[in-house]
Amino acid sequence: MKKALIFDCDGVLADTERDGHLVAFNQMWREQGINWQWSLEQYAEKVKIGGGKERMFSLGNDRDFRAVYPVPESESAWWNIVMGWHKRKTEIYKQAIASGAIPGRPGVKRLAQTALANGWLLAVCSTSAIVSVEAVLRHVMGSELTGQFAGIFAGDMVKAKKPAPDVYNLAVETLDLDPTRCIVIEDTRNGLLAATAAGMTCIVTYNELSKHEDFEEAALVLSDFGEPGNEAIAIGQNQTNVKPQGYFTVDNLERVLCNSRASISTMRSQMPSHTLET
């Protein structure tokens, strides 16, 4: 049976929310002559809304924003404005990624390479637009490794974005995966809820924007995956018997999968037989 390691994009592959998307949103508004800027604290709240267009659209109900911009009463007219803003914001964001100014998070490429070498399929499931996801993936993983990813699934491919499980369900259907043999790497509660709703095991690598969120359902919560010789990773939560030593390895990944499948098997064996039959 195929094993799959599925990465979220923003905040997992690189700190692109703080250093990329937020910067691009604010630059776009300056270019538009709109007296509006998101602070890091404000954006940390907006990140809880899946999708950049949706985050901007929500400003239509913001009294402070309406004081500086004449939001139209028509939702379709407002959406058209947001779409135009988002197109320019995406261009700015892609330029930032291409410049190499935003490094990949520690251990991400190393783990992807070793997982691939050990028979894991690699995929990405994100709420961002496909062009943004592909740009980040190529930047962090390089063209050769990116070309070996089995699938790249983005927010504009599904009806509902995270915390809905749609993008993960799409990956399962397209790649013919068994959700119980998939491990997802997420950085937010929305992503965690999406992955677990799809029946997948989730490891969280938190960042500055998400570190205070509730990750109760995660199998493992880490500061990052780390690198040999660097400072040891921090473990915020561990519901497995896996004990990473300094940095996270593909052996740790295999053990998380085995641990999770064993837990599922135990849970099913304890269910009443009539429940199993239904």
Burial of 229 (0-12, 13-18, 19+ CB in 10 A): exposed
**Terminal Cα-to-Cα distance of the chain (whole angstroms):** 26
Helix 189-197 vs helix 166-175: crossing angle, to nearest 10: 40
Which residue out of 8, 15, 187, 224 is catalytically annotated? 8
Q: From CA 275, how far away is CA 13, in angstroms rounded?
A: 40
Is 14 in a helix, a strand, or coil? strand
215 by DSSP, 3-state: which? Answer: coil
Q: Which of 10, 15, 187, 224 is catalytic?
A: 10
The span from the CA of 72 to the CA of 85, in Å, is 15
Edge-to-edge strand list for the sheet holding 220-222? 151-153, 120-125, 3-7, 182-186, 201-205, 220-222, 235-238
Q: Which distant-in-sequence residues (6+ apart) come within 8 Å of 264 by Cβ?
A: 180
Q: What are phi and psi of 216, to 5 degrees?
A: -55, -35
**Strand-pair category, 220-222 with 235-238:** antiparallel
10 given a catalytic annotation: yes
Annotation says 178 is catalytic:
no
- Which active-site residues does the annotation give? 8, 10
